[in-house]
Copies of this chain bind each other. A is one copy, B any other.
């Protein structure tokens, strides 16, 4: 078999503000790969991508590499990287057999050559046989799902009857947070950015929900009553509104602050002092720090509840690597319709 195209998505330049498709993030077809003849070292395998995930934290990786952060910067001129699912095509590694599906970290390139580090824990997880779409393994059954589950486990201290406010509630993390909260007997207020999303949250999850683009968050919080837990994916003004609405002893779970990702804020916090007066705790966290503590329990429970429909999830499936640059922009602007996944299955 001759060499074939191995398309990829490249980090071409550091965006100012929102990334520009075709400038900062570029689809490229110049590379080729000869699947049968390319040499594989001991422990290596060639995999073909089936699914890639786009997640908001990727914006933080589109920076000058000299700036330190909690995740490595993307390398200029190299493919993006993120979680995905791939199928083993050819293998020089006894742990990975052709046909097996693996969940893990991949380059945004149709074919990846992966390497197992000897002695270290397996970098890729063989995905289960639950009856869920393969895309779900990067969403509700992947990193976003873990974010919701680990964050609530570690920081919510939820007591039945308490009130929680969930931002980005229609996002892949927020959807799960709402449902975990309901199962723990909490009263849920959810915010999302369109009437359609709000409708889904109300109808499918049975929570109180509002459109933050057409309703005042401060007023909705007032109407809902003081909150005990705040799930923050937004930061800035919404975080401040939540601080202003929190009960004594309230817990803020800081999962992300997307409002500041594409701009430098000039917002002046009004309610910071309530951290002292209301004895609030504000807890920032990164999902990977809690992997060891909760991963076993996660895979034992979550894929099963997704398969039975006990836990619901919505996905926005983009088809083909070509769609990645626009998919990222849609996600950062909230124009997506559920968890953004890229399906690379031939179609």
User: Which A residues contact B (CB, under 8 angstroms)?
Assistant: 60, 69-70, 235, 239, 248, 254-257, 260, 265-269, 272-286, 289
Q: Is the CB of B69 within 8 A of A277?
A: yes
Complex Cα–Cα for A56 and B165 (A) = 33
Query: A266's closest neighbor in chain B, by CB?
Result: B268
A336 to chain B, nearest CB (A): 21
Query: A277's closest neighbor in chain B, by CB?
Result: B70
Complex Cα–Cα for A269 and B272 (A) = 10
Q: Is the CB of A254 within 8 A of B276?
A: yes
Q: Is the CB of A278 within 8 A of B70?
A: yes
Q: Is the CB of A276 within 8 A of B289?
A: no
Query: A274's closest neighbor in chain B, by CB?
Result: B284
User: Which of A257, A278, A282, A285 has most B Cβ within 10 Å?
Assistant: A282
Q: Is the CB of B286 within 8 A of A279?
A: yes
Query: A257's closest neighbor in chain B, by CB?
Result: B273
Q: Is the CB of B284 within 8 A of A284?
A: no
Q: Is the CB of A235 within 8 A of B286?
A: no
Inter-chain contacts of A280 with B (CB < 8 A): 282, 284
Complex Cα–Cα for A281 and B275 (A) = 11
Complex Cα–Cα for A284 and B250 (A) = 10
Given contacts A239-B272, A276-B286, A280-B284, 13 further A-B pairs with CB under 8 A are A69-B277, A235-B272, A257-B272, A260-B272, A260-B273, A265-B268, A269-B269, A276-B285, A277-B284, A278-B284, A279-B286, A281-B284, A282-B283
Q: Is the CB of A276 within 8 A of B284?
A: yes
A254 and B275 in contact, given A265-B268, A267-B268 (Cβ under 8 angstroms): yes
Q: Is the CB of B235 within 8 A of A273?
A: yes
Complex Cα–Cα for A256 and B274 (A) = 10
Query: A290's closest neighbor in chain B, by CB?
Result: B279
Complex Cα–Cα for A283 and B283 (A) = 9
Q: What are 18 of the A-B contact pairs (CB < 8 Å)?
A: A60-B277, A69-B277, A235-B272, A235-B276, A254-B275, A257-B272, A257-B273, A257-B276, A260-B272, A260-B273, A266-B268, A268-B268, A269-B272, A276-B284, A277-B286, A278-B284, A280-B282, A281-B284
Which of B266, B275, B286 contacts A282, CB < 8 Å?
B275
User: Which of A60, A254, A273 has most B Cβ within 10 Å?
Assistant: A273
Q: Is the CB of A281 within 8 A of B278?
A: no
Complex Cα–Cα for A276 and B275 (A) = 17
Inter-chain contacts of A239 with B (CB < 8 A): 272
A275 and B284 in contact, given A265-B268, A268-B268 (Cβ under 8 angstroms): yes
Inter-chain contacts of A275 with B (CB < 8 A): 254, 282, 284
Inter-chain contacts of A274 with B (CB < 8 A): 284
Which 6 A-B pairs rank lowest in CB-CB distance, beginning with the nearest? A275-B284, A282-B282, A276-B284, A70-B277, A254-B276, A280-B284
Inter-chain contacts of A70 with B (CB < 8 A): 248, 277-279
Inter-chain contacts of A285 with B (CB < 8 A): 276, 279
Complex Cα–Cα for A273 and B67 (A) = 14
Complex Cα–Cα for A285 and B250 (A) = 11
A281 and B279 in contact, given A268-B265, A268-B267 (Cβ under 8 angstroms): no
